[in-house]
Chains A and B, each alone.
Chain A
């Protein structure tokens, strides 16, 4: 089980959280202006990197707030947390 550091409450066990998937995927402002391919990109296509991943977490059984985290998907090590809507921090890859 991961030890997830809530941006607001500190380190808590993973079962208090829901992972919300990749961060920084903004809903297009005018969906009807998009073609099918661009809409599909928004809905379904993901970076899925082996390395640093920006992802959303919700401290659902705690403070209930959303925040973003950077985590290395090869080692599962968390590198940073930052507020939802915030700019992605520039950090080293960490882990293996």
Chain B
């Protein structure tokens, strides 16, 4: 792998940029691997990267049915924060946050991580009480989160409408200054480039069509659209398609897949300095470096794999955006799209073993998985490499739905997130 540096940039500028290499190979699948990761999104590629980097496993492959980063990694609104209520969630999202803070240097790839602050608006007394509880819980876990009055929120995010005669006036806000955004494609590409350089085979256009088991019951191979590949260890990181992949191993999952939509406006000059979200009126907004306002909507109510959702879902979000920011009401929306998110009953992910030896799963990130990408990959790499969960993902077992030890962020946030 050729490292990016000022020197390489100057050299290539002199040589008319003729010397840049492919960022990763396009290898043919080998007959067997030590481990196979099903799903080449951010989480799968991060898993492969940390397996190679931290655990020395080089004979591994990432199988992606489409192209890498073409699923939810390329479809989300790139919000990164770690101010979750419960200790288990706080630990894993803060683990990810710490990795984000050094990720561009780690990968030698600019993921454009920008800690511009994530502002969460409170609109009524329940929000205020809930957010303050979050703030105190976060501080006990060493995570920054602070309470702002409406005027302080306006100072931090000047476009905000503080009028008292909107339907849900702003009565305060919680601010995580270390929160922000990153360039989602760069995250996939950076991890892919780093993993490939250490020998990981990234195989695109390779759909897993079956999971085979040996006489001992453990996994023995995967059948793919490019032939059968033997392996004793499989990590399924297939996001919205997890139920479909796991069904091929005969397992039902506590998951439902819903469409989740996002949209962007026409590009405008810098008008929006932070990330702003409101669970109560359901608005998520930030501005990309291209100038588009990036807006996240909610999930549809029905199970679907269609990667599109209802227009009334996006208009509901735009109603809220236009109340909070009346000046945006004249902006035209350029594009909207949908992804398929796998949602667990408690809105927390599942990262760990299954009842089948050698089969591991990292799923259920629901509507908020992007922020966890490096942390998720890091702890899942540990799980796959050692066969046992990392202390950080130990609580996120599949068994918790039987034992009752749920990590109920659904109740904590009162919204999908």
Contacts and interface: CB of A to CB of B under 8 A. Distances in A.
A43 B304 contact: no
Given A53-B303, A55-B303, A73-B304, 5 more contacts: A15-B312, A37-B402, A45-B401, A46-B256, A49-B243
Query: 5 tightest CB-CB pairs across the interface, nearest first?
Result: A48-B243, A44-B254, A1-B310, A40-B402, A19-B302
Contacts of B173: none
Contact of A40 (B302, B308, B401): B401
B256 A21 contact: yes
Contacts of B204: none
Bin the interface of chain B by size.
20 to 34
Contact of A73 (B306, B401, B404): B306
Contacts of A75: 306
A65 B403 CA distance: 35
A50 B403 CA distance: 28
B247 to A, nearest CB: 8
A71 interface: yes
B220 to A, nearest CB: 25
A53 B254 CA distance: 16
B403 A76 contact: no
Contacts of A37: 402
Nearest to B307: A74
11 contacts: A14-B310, A15-B312, A37-B402, A40-B254, A41-B252, A44-B254, A45-B254, A46-B256, A48-B257, A71-B302, A75-B306
A8 B90 CA distance: 48
B403 A46 contact: no
A47 interface: yes
Query: Which of A37, A46, A47 counts the most B-chain CB atoms under 10 A from its CB?
Result: A46
Contact of A43 (B255, B302, B345): B345
A74 B303 contact: no
Interface of A: 1-2, 14-15, 18-19, 21-22, 36-37, 39-41, 43-50, 53, 55, 71, 73-76
A80 B102 CA distance: 53
Interface in B369-403: 401-403
A47 B246 CA distance: 11
A46 B256 CA distance: 7
Contacts of A14: 310, 312
A92 B342 CA distance: 26
B59 interface: no
A39 B255 CA distance: 16
B180 to A, nearest CB: 33
Contacts of A18: 301
B395 to A, nearest CB: 16
B241 interface: yes
Interface in B328-359: 345
Given A1-B310, A14-B310, A50-B241, A44 B401 contact: yes
Contact of A46 (B252, B305, B402): B252
Nearest to A77: B306
B312 A19 contact: no
A45 B257 CA distance: 12
Query: Which of A43, A44, A73, A75 counts the most B-chain CB atoms under 10 A from its CB?
Result: A44
Contacts of B305: 50, 73-74
A36 B402 contact: yes
B254 A36 contact: no
Contacts of A53: 303
Contact of B401 (A15, A21, A43): A43
A67 to B, nearest CB: 14
B253 interface: yes
Given A48-B243, A73-B304, A75-B306, A1 B256 contact: no
Given A2-B302, A73-B305, A74-B305, A50 B244 contact: yes
B255 A48 contact: yes
Contacts of A76: 302, 304, 306, 308
Contacts of B308: 76
A50 B240 CA distance: 10
